[in-house]
Chain A
Amino acid sequence: MKLNVDVTPRTDVPRWMRYGTPVFTILAALAVSAVALVALGVSPVEAYYVMFVQTLTTNFGLTNTVAKAVPLIFAGLAVYLPLKAQLWNIGAEGQLFLGAIAGTWIGLNVSLPMVALLPLMFVGGALAGAAWIAVPAWLRAKLGINEIITTLLFVFVATEIKNYLVRGPLQAPTANFPQSAQLPAAAQLPDIPVVGYPVGIVLAVVLVAVTYLLVNYTRLGYEITFIGANDTAAEHAGMSKFKIYMIVLMAGGAMAGVAGVSELSGVQGRLRASFEPGYGFTAIPIALLGRNGAFQVMLAALFFAVIFVGGSSIQTLLGVPSAIVDIMQALIILFLITSEFFKQYSIDLGIERAPDPGAPGQPEGEV
């Protein structure tokens, strides 16, 4: 008996595969995570029931999911948009810190009514995030220096700036903790009346729609897509790589900054030294799962919000360490990478029995 494995490059990725990949990836990650759950002595069925069904059917779970999803959507877009031009914004976390810092400073130092203060905080946060990525963006656009490395390194710088500020200029004068003062009520995102969801979700949905329109219907979106597909040909077509690279990276930085403000003003209420939500890094698998479009990014962000909230639930209810969520996140990335292989190559498996040398062409089973 002989196992035949045929690996042939595909000329075209089938449509079902392009759109099915995220779903398969998630299912595969959940299946493998089940092994870890069994090892912990927890029934995966029960754990996933708590994680998904309970989270999505209780009011508490839904509200929390939406609250988690808001910064994840912004951060996901912050990675998604540059990815359209084949640029990797790995440092959304750093831009998010800068957004949070700018938001905190404005919230604490500007006294305006809420309707003016909150927009000002978001604009400030967006500008700060864009400014933070401006240097890596310029290095990439002008000199071709790899943005994966520079944006990532800028995260460490941003972390230390934040750590310094909450122990220095931004530290609450009355306390000894490394944290800022509590934001005034006018600087805190309210909930939507009646439904009770955080108001940030509205802004998130609007930004998703804007990004969708930008990519699919505008001239800029065409240029971004084209540069992402073949930057040399794009230059031959008269598109400015410099301009597009600057625009997508700075827009990404701005959205990460908005993510920082929304988390700070909607959830945290004050800037702490321990503020390291990791959304900027989770944004990478979100953007990869949702790389087919802005709405898919939103769905991916919602999925991650569910497993974050559900992860806390199974920790409290079933005693499963919430590190299981990290495992799932890592598995999703692994399976995404694997799926790239299957998208590029088609695999044929065949089991063949060795033909009897006496009678070639008439395969017979072993006796």
Chain B
Amino acid sequence: MSNDEFVQLKDITKTFPGVVANDDVSMSLRRGEIHGLLGENGAGKSTLMKILYGLYSADEGEIWLDGERLDMESPQDAIDAGIGMVHQHFKLIPRLSVSENIVLGMREPAAAFRADRDDDRGVLSALTGNSVVRGLASRFTLGLDEPQAEIQQLADDYGFDLDVTTPVWELGVGERQRVEILKALYRDVDLLILDEPTAVLTPTQAQRLCDTLRKLTDEGLTVIIITHKLDEITDVTDRVTVLRDGQDVGTVETSEHTSDDFARMMVGRDVLFQLEKEGVATGDAVLDVSDLRADGDRGIEAVSGVDLTIDSGEIVGLAGVSGNGQKELAEALVGVRETTDGTIAVTGEDVTNAPPRSFIDNGVSFVPEDRHEDGCAGTLSIMHNAVMKAYTDTEFSDGLKLDYEAMEAYAETLVEAFDVRGINDVRDINAGELSGGNLQKLILAREMLREPDLLVANQPTRGVDVGAIEFIRERLLEQRRAGTGILLLSEDLDELFDLSDRILVIYEGEFVYETTPEAATRRRIGLEMNGGQGAEQSAKVAADGGQSDAR
């Protein structure tokens, strides 16, 4: 890493109708550093990077790269200047192989028509050397042999562990991301922008990405990561630029600051990550589940015999690697997924395989993992979404008519109580227009203000910014004080440790471990999430001939 300014963004201002997305933002990068761009949702991070990548043009301000001023009209200009970007949603064609995806847009003609061929073989070469033929060939033939070898070499050099002939649809998310990075590297970029790269990755994959990025910067590449996750910033970056409300708060050395400092810069006030969790007397069981089984979307059993009791005033945390049946379990517990065996009782009443309405009427609330797909109707107003579960109450409905005035007032109550921002008229703004954090607050308000007996919250703080995370966690604890039993599913172990009274670990549809935050260690939970004692256990199973399976 050198100290000369490699890239400079000077006084960038960009306005959209009604919004100043970037207000006089400056930022500079050193060659070979990993530079974090930190900010809450809507702080203007993505806009700034889209300007740097040529997707938007700035209203004011300049971009300098390596001492030259850049004037970009499209991403192509950015790529030509050596800037590459990996978007949050990958832009790959599943049917094509890794190398085909990578050469898209810059392929070479088949070997016989290549300009750099220097062997001379009479008529054939006269033909293939003809400029018209070459022009056609460059459009209608694809020479993959050389690029393929080159791409494979590149992948191996960086330890990407990819077979470049594999079709992309066969790859997992982490691998696809590596293909995107490879695509940029193949275009010979000097600066790589990653937009929230870990949002789609598991912790292990994220760790691997960090290692990759280090390797890249060692080779002289400069990397920007856009993120709102503080641990990522402290783990991997060299320097950080923080944006707040479109303005830059400053650029600092990562090593000289703690995550608390970053949180303060990002939110503009102190953020308490230390939550006050006093003891709460637990009451009767609000949820009693025995030997529950349910199938996943593909008809394969996802929940395999789960017993679970949650008492009033208790938060039970559920840890597990994504895809081990948590989503299905959560859905079964709120009645939106059919169960194949076992019983579910809510506050003593058997609701096994009852319609979702019975669960709702019995005081079950649910914060789904996918808030756009399951949690709201994005094209309907805040009001419509606010009363989504309560609209049958006598307060709003006499069975035939609905009282829209009362619904509007209720929606306003929710918005106020949970400080949902960006709403001036609950009938005019649609749920889909809210930012992730605000939509999540709205959903939580809807689910919590019903005063539920049981709350199932699946990843309640995923993808929301620090300020909202703090708020949501506090509300969960408040709900616990109010006597609600809560099942908290989270991939964030810190969250589970901070909030839970008990922690359960789910693996392949079964609970494999139970502990308390006081007694637990991260290492043990991490191991259990991956199927117990790992190598030790599989060795034991092999030794007794797999008999422990034949219970």
Contact = CB atoms under 8 A, between A and B. Distances in A.
Asked if chains A and B come from one complex, the reply is yes
Interface of A: 4, 11-12, 217-222, 225-226, 229-230, 232-240, 360-361
A222 B391 contact: yes
B377 A226 contact: yes
* 8 tightest Cβ-Cβ pairs between the two chains A and B: A238-B357, A229-B377, A230-B377, A237-B388, A238-B356, A229-B380, A238-B360, A229-B379
B392 interface: yes
Give the interface residue-count category, chain B: 20 to 34
A238 B355 contact: yes
Contacts of B402: 217-219, 221-222
B440 to A, nearest CB: 14
A236 B401 contact: no
Contacts of B378: 229-230
A230 to B, nearest CB: 4
B356 A235 contact: yes
B373 A233 contact: yes
A221 B384 CA distance: 12
B377 A218 contact: no
Contact of A230 (B359, B376, B391): B376
Nearest to B398: A219
Contacts of A233: 373-377, 388
A219 B356 CA distance: 18
Interface in B339-393: 355-357, 359-361, 366, 368, 373-380, 384, 388-389, 391-392
A232 B373 contact: yes
B219 interface: no
B396 to A, nearest CB: 8
B399 interface: yes
Contacts of B366: 236
Contact of A226 (B334, B384, B397, B400): B384
B433 interface: yes
A235 B336 contact: yes
A279 to B, nearest CB: 30
Contacts of B433: 11-12
Contact of A234 (B73, B377, B392, B401): B377
A261 to B, nearest CB: 27
A220 B392 CA distance: 10
B412 to A, nearest CB: 18
Contacts of A361: 71
A219 B389 contact: no
B389 A237 contact: yes
Interface in B476-492: none
B46 interface: no
A348 B392 CA distance: 45
A239 B335 CA distance: 12
B493 to A, nearest CB: 27
Contacts of A11: 433
A12 B401 contact: no
Contacts of B368: 236
A246 to B, nearest CB: 15
A217 B379 contact: no
Nearest to B361: A238
Contact of A218 (B71, B357, B388, B401): B401
Interface string B390-416: 011000010111101000000000000
B399 A219 contact: yes
Nearest to A221: B402
Given A222-B391, A230-B373, A232-B373, 17 more contacts: A219-B391, A219-B400, A222-B402, A226-B384, A229-B378, A230-B377, A233-B376, A233-B388, A236-B366, A236-B374, A237-B388, A238-B355, A238-B356, A238-B359, A238-B389, A239-B357, A360-B71
B124 to A, nearest CB: 40
A236 B400 contact: no
Contacts of A221: 402
A192 to B, nearest CB: 31
B431 to A, nearest CB: 9
**Chain B CB within 10 Å, residue with most, of A11, A219, A234:** A219
Nearest to A4: B73
B430 interface: yes
Given A219-B400, A219-B402, A236 B336 contact: yes
A268 to B, nearest CB: 37
Contacts of A238: 355-357, 359-361, 389, 392
Nearest to B404: A217
Contacts of B359: 238
Between A235, A238, A240, the greatest number of chain B beta carbons within 10 A of the residue's beta carbon is seen for A238
Contacts of A360: 71
A25 to B, nearest CB: 21
16 contacts: A218-B400, A218-B402, A219-B401, A222-B402, A225-B380, A225-B384, A229-B378, A229-B380, A229-B384, A230-B373, A233-B375, A235-B356, A236-B336, A236-B368, A236-B388, A237-B389
Contacts of B392: 219, 238
B255 to A, nearest CB: 39
A232 B336 CA distance: 9
B382 to A, nearest CB: 13
A217 B357 CA distance: 22
Nearest to A242: B355
A238 B360 CA distance: 7
A230 B389 CA distance: 14
Interface in B38-80: 71, 73
A180 B377 CA distance: 50
Nearest to B368: A236
Contact of B355 (A219, A229, A240): A240
Nearest to B359: A238
Contacts of A12: 430, 433
